[in-house]
Amino acid sequence: FLANIDPDIQTGLLKMMKAPKLVGLDSMNLWITHKKPSLLKLLRRVDLFVANDGEARSLSGENNLIKAARALRRLGPPLVVIKKGEHGVLFHSDKWRFCFPAYPVDQVIDPTGAGDTFAGGLMGYLSQARKINLATLKKALIYATTVASVNVEGFGMAKTALLTMADVKKRMNALIEFIEPG
């Protein structure tokens, strides 16, 4: 996973990897604005691009997120994930397109780091998957959404540092029930 740093540094890191099976990329408005040519070249070399809704709109030039996802896909990455904060997540590829709501959090204390937690959860889940298919992608995005929802309930790592897999599974099941009641 090429976490959010200068795209020229990300490119250098990618060049050091020996036959990676799945390369994910994160960016931010700073790089979209000031390093767009480098970012566009890098997008052609990755499998998965993760952006928040503002970044997706800025990079694609599209206000509508469905159109933005399509435009981002045309830039290279076969898998596009658009984080929509409290409104959930949108996934787009040539084969599949779906979205999930965010986990309903009673009180957001601090959203700082939620995007990084989301990306870590997504890539962590995908890294242990035997194959990338529709079921795996859906589960990975639900997992990522779940862990990010814990992050916003405290400052820093106050909540996530205490998480157990049992806690994650319980919250994931609650989110799945929220998505598909009964």
Catalytic residues: 116
Residue 92 contacts residue 69 (beta carbons within 8 Å): yes
- Strand residues in 27-117 grouped as ranges (E): 48-52, 79-83, 89-92, 97-100
Classify residue 103 by its DSSP letter. P
For residue 173, count other CB atoms closer than 10 A to its CB.
Answer: 12
> Bridge-partner residues for 98, per DSSP?
91
> Bridge-partner residues for 50, per DSSP?
26, 81
Residue 63 contacts residue 95 (beta carbons within 8 Å): no
For residue 154, count other CB atoms closer than 10 A to its CB.
Answer: 14
CA distance linking residue 156 with residue 154, whole number of Å: 7
